[in-house]
Structure 1
Amino acid sequence: MGAQQLVDPVGNGSRSRFPVSRENPHAALIEDVRWFGGSLLWPFFGQLALDQVAYREIAAAVDRSGQFAANFTDRGLRSFAFTALYLFADPTDAAAFTAKLKSMHGAVRGRGTGEFADTRYSALNPELWKWVAASGLNLMYKGYLQIAGRDLDATERDIVYQTLRSVLSTLELPSSATTLPATAAELTAYYDEVAATKLADNGFLQQARQHFDHLPVPMLLFPRVIHPAVRPLWRAAIPVFARPAKVCSDANQHPRMRELLGIRWTRANQVEYALYRAVLHLAWRYLPRRLTLDPLAYNRFRYEKIRDTYASAQLDSFAAAS
């Protein structure tokens, strides 16, 4: 068997416990999962993250920050951009952005307003921090399983989970209380427990749900001065993308979230979802990576292809032949 190499999904020292070598039958799966984190497809499952604001203290914090109210689209774009930076920036930059994220959250503490006036929160509360990280892990895990295009067996699902978990583990705080569930089964059990004891309806959750159907023109992409010109086209385009994202997310919501969001899943929804799922699978499998990866991830993809080409020309040893 040839030399094995541990996968480094984020390029910052994180390693999966699954060795990758040409002989490893799961090497292709591990690499596929790794690049999924930089895909333009996982946002189609983005509404799974609504479970974060079904947790009262998190809803109070996000509501108090005002970032969603300022521009809901910009908030989503910032999250997408951070994911790319965290996963595919060079090691020094990735570590710096992660440290900055944790530091900035230190200032997120206090008491909510309005509906949440009775709720105190701290973003660095280990229980809240773990839930947000687990929510992101759940989103990526379920998203990948859906675009894989086939039913993965238990071993393959564990590989998917462990690869994604290795990516997100550097977001954990020093407290062991923030450690992500060790297995997919443990994630399910943890999610069920939080869903039963912590997730509840609130006004901010319902407002966030509605925002996904009426995303405002993003300030990060278009200067305010051209918004009047862009807005008609934007309003026409948003339903084309918002509907598939809503259906894909609804199909994979936990039963508790379906209850809180009032999701009525019908046979027609199931047929619609099957169509979207098939299209996403075909896009991920057959479109060039330059069309399915965000620019930073594609930059890393190209770098590694060139690196491997150069590395293949190198000798294994300078020792004289015996």
Structure 2
Amino acid sequence: MSEGGGKYALALKSLVAGGVAGMAGKTVVAPLDRVKILLQTQKTEFTHCGITSALINILKAEGVSGLFRGNMVQMIRIFPYGGIQFSIYEVLKKFLSKDDPMHCSHLTRFLAGSIGGVSGMVATYPLDTLRANLAFHSKKGLIGFYRGLTPSIMAIVPQSGLSFCFFEQIKIILIWNLHILRVKDNKPHEEDHYQLTTPGRLVAGGLAGALAQSVCYPLDVIRRRMQLGDGTKLLLLLKDTYYNHGIRRGWYRGMSVNFVRSVPLNAVSFCVYESCKHIFGISTSVKDKKKL
């Protein structure tokens, strides 16, 4: 296969793998996603709720279906988002590392992950706004599908970039040091090649997501409020949120549910993605430390 054909094949396989991975991860945490939005946006009846009480309130008021309100729109959004994010990451990583993606620098991974995340977000942002409104059950209508895009881009750059950086690094650490989380990859190479087992992928993905999202959570809170109709400018909204609610109950409102959801979300997403890469024949193995 030609070099150009190989890159197109890599992009297509990564697109499908990323879309499937994103749908799997988001489905697992759909109820927690709705609770997170309700807590972030300070909806009146959820102002003093924790994770458990919020889930109970939703079940009492709307039944089980209420936990998944807006999830169909989420699935329509997340397949192209995950596909674009992961495919651009893989293609850029390969391009920027001069066809040696397994040994690229942290900066290369960060740039590829950030550009992939921004591209996926911009392409699917109207659906994210729609989903937020459905989850909030707003009666104001859907005005301004790209409201809140600026803080979203500001948040996704470090979040997506760090997610991929952390995942790749944690994956290498686990492969090198924990034999129970790695298996020999049957590749026709003279060197020893290893890949993570499913538990290893879950651990690496969960840790990577939790670490990355904690860095830029305040911007995620502001993004949600802007999506749901708060016309205040970004800096004024940050200031207003701080003065009215403080740091813990304002900027980091819903952070506990974010940690609870981010671990399984990223664990499942990265695990499914790595599994799909293996099925599609995209290299996921790492050389043994002694051979490096």
Structure exhibiting the larger radius of gyration computed from Cα positions: 1
When the two structures are superposed, what TM-score results if normalisation uses the length of structure 2? Answer: 0.31
Structure richer in helix, relative to its length: 2
When the two structures are superposed, what TM-score results if normalisation uses the length of structure 1? Answer: 0.29
